[in-house]
Structure formats: C-alpha cells, structure tokens
Amino acid sequence: MPSVLIVDDSVVARSTVARALSQVPGLEVLRPVPSGELALQRCATRPPDVVVLDVEMPGLGGLATLELLRELTPETKVIVFSGHTSAGAEVTLEALARGAADVVAKPVDGRLSESSLAELVGKIRGLTEREPAAALIPHRRASTGAGPIDALVVGVSTGGPNALMELVPQLPGDLPVPVLIVQHMPPLFTGLLAERLDKRSELQVREGVHGAPVRPGEVWIAPGDRHMRVRAAGREQQLLLDDGPQENSCRPAVDVLFRSAAACYGSRLLAVVMTGMGQDGLRGAEQIVAGGGQVLAQDEATSVVWGMPGAIVRGGLADRVLPLGELAQEIRRRVTRRADRAPEGEA
C-alpha cells in the first residue's frame, strides 16, 4: 500500500488534501507536516513512497526541501503543488528540473475538486505501481528503419521536462526535419518549457501557434490544454490547435498528434515515445507503423514511469528500445539519411 506525506505550510491545503486522500482505498496517508524541516525529520525515520510538496513555503523553501529529500531518500517520488500564476509555474518547472516526478495544481481556496483528486490519485498510483514482470517482456518488430524521414514527433509525460532537456539540446541546429512534441503539462508550463529548451538548444523551440508553417530545424511544443495536429497545406505543412475532447484523459494528447502526422507524412515519419504514465500514443503509434513509419521507445531503466513507452514495446511497435542518453544519436542517424536517400529533386 503506497504511503503519502503531504507537506504544505497552509493548514487548509494540507488538511484538505490529506482528508481527501484518506478516503481513497489502497493509500496510506501519513500525518501531514507544515514545513520542509519537519518533512525531512519524518522522512529520515520513515521514508514515504510519495511526498506531495508545496514549493512555495517560508523557512526551508520547497526547492531546498526537494533537493534534500532527493539526497535523503532517493526512492521517494515527489509530486509538487503548482501555483496558479506565471511565477508559481516557473518555480514548479524548476522543481521538475531538480528531480520532482510530477506536478498537480494546488487547491484553490482550500477546495480540491473531484477531477483534481482523481488526477492526484492517478499520479500517485502511476508512480508507485509496477506492472507484473511477465508484462514487461519486450516484443520488438523487425524493421531496418532505412526509409527517409521528413518529420519527427515526440510523445512524453511524467518525467518529460528533464528528458526533453537532455534530448533536444543534443539535436543539431541543422536538423533537416521539423520536431513536434506533446508533453502532458498544464497551460503556462508548456510556454516556459519551450523558452528553457530554446535557450539550451541550437534548434528554435516554441510553443505551438495555430496556422504556423512547419519547417525543418524548428521545434514546436503543444500548448497546455490544446490539442496540436499537423496537416498538409499546399506544398507545406502547418500546425492546427483545437479544444476538442480529451483523449486518454489528456489535452494535448499524443495520439491526436501522432494520427495527424501519420496521415500527413506516411512512411516518412519518425516517432519517439518517452517516459510517462498511461498509454497515450499507443493508438497513434499503431497508425504510424501501419503507414510504414518508424517508432523508437525509451527504455524502462531511464524512464521515470514506463507506462507510455512500455505500451509501445508490449504492442510490438518499437523499432528500437533505447536509453534516454542514446535516443538523440539514433534520431540523428535516422533523419540525416534523408538527404542521402531521398530521390534527386525531392525535398
């Protein structure tokens, strides 16, 4: 039974969350604490499986508490509370960069909605439950991956900001294909993530804009709470954003992007599915493979949660299963053959 510790200086917030979680079967909710100092004392004697941490606290701040928790009990997963402002999102994104596993919106006025509670419980269970060993046996499809590539699509969720911070800066500035990314994050976060990646990368990284042309050497990240698609528009491709229904309880959803890219690029598409809980991207990857495209999956050892890439592997859709540190090299190898293999006169 996963144990959960709530750390928040607001008595209303910590009591509200602790009371709500205590009603959920299969969770052990430890007595909440109001400060980082007390959280470290509690974790030193009995490390919980998950800490839900407010990152904006007086005294020992949330970021300092997070770093000390990671040193004290590295097996404990930390979910951070996000404020509802740009400043709160910036601090939360920094917490993710320092090792927090995921983020949830902090209750407003002490109220935790049903949907927010379900999201928090889902994240706790996703971070603590493991698949039966038999289900983790990888099944790989036989593919040479020899065809030319015109676009790269990426799906990622829990653990994604850090994974993208490692992957994207390793891609060269003269990458001959566009990169389209769905990272499950709320509004505000995706724009800030794009800014951080842009500063650290040779490629231009931006948050998706409706109607924007899709060109080589550019990286687009789907905005929080908007689906992002790609479609052919004459001789070029362009982005489409919409507020359609959630898929896999997500908006943006990886499946939405993958399906549209499969229809647009066919066999000249490379997809990468990285760390994240759930199975978003599985159905879209099926369509990519059916159209002759290629799919790479991050391995379990380097994933914070192996739900999304694990579903790809178990479905027999992965051309290769690679550690995070080797994905960029494999992407470069596959896309740079584009110029060598494409027929003369073909873009």
Question: 66 is written with which tokens?
Answer: 């997070």
Please name which of 224, 286, 287 lies closest in space to residue 250, comparing C-alpha atoms.
224
Catalytic site residue from 49, 184, 201, 255: 184
Q: Which residues of 15-47 are buried (b: 16+ CB within 10 A; e: fewer)?
A: ebbbebbeeeeebebbebbbbbebbbebbeeeb
280 is catalytic: yes
Angstrom distance (rounded) from CA 248 to CA 155: 13
- Which residue bears the tokens 């994974």? 163
Q: Which residues of 282-310 are buried (b: 16+ CB within 10 A; e: fewer)?
A: bbbbbbbbebebbbbbbbbebbbbbbbbb
Neighbouring residues of 125: CB distance < 8 A, sequence distance ≥ 6 = 2, 26
Catalytic site residue from 49, 102, 150, 280: 280
- Which residue bears the tokens 């750390």? 7
Catalytic site residue from 82, 157, 201, 260: 157
Please name which of 260, 290, 254 lies closest in space to residue 272, comparing C-alpha atoms.
254
Give the distance from CA 189 to its chain's centroid. 12
184 is catalytic: yes
Please name which of 333, 347, 337 lies closest in space to residue 170, comparing C-alpha atoms.
333
Task: Give the 3-state secondary structure of residue 240.
Answer: strand
Catalytic positions are 157, 184, 280
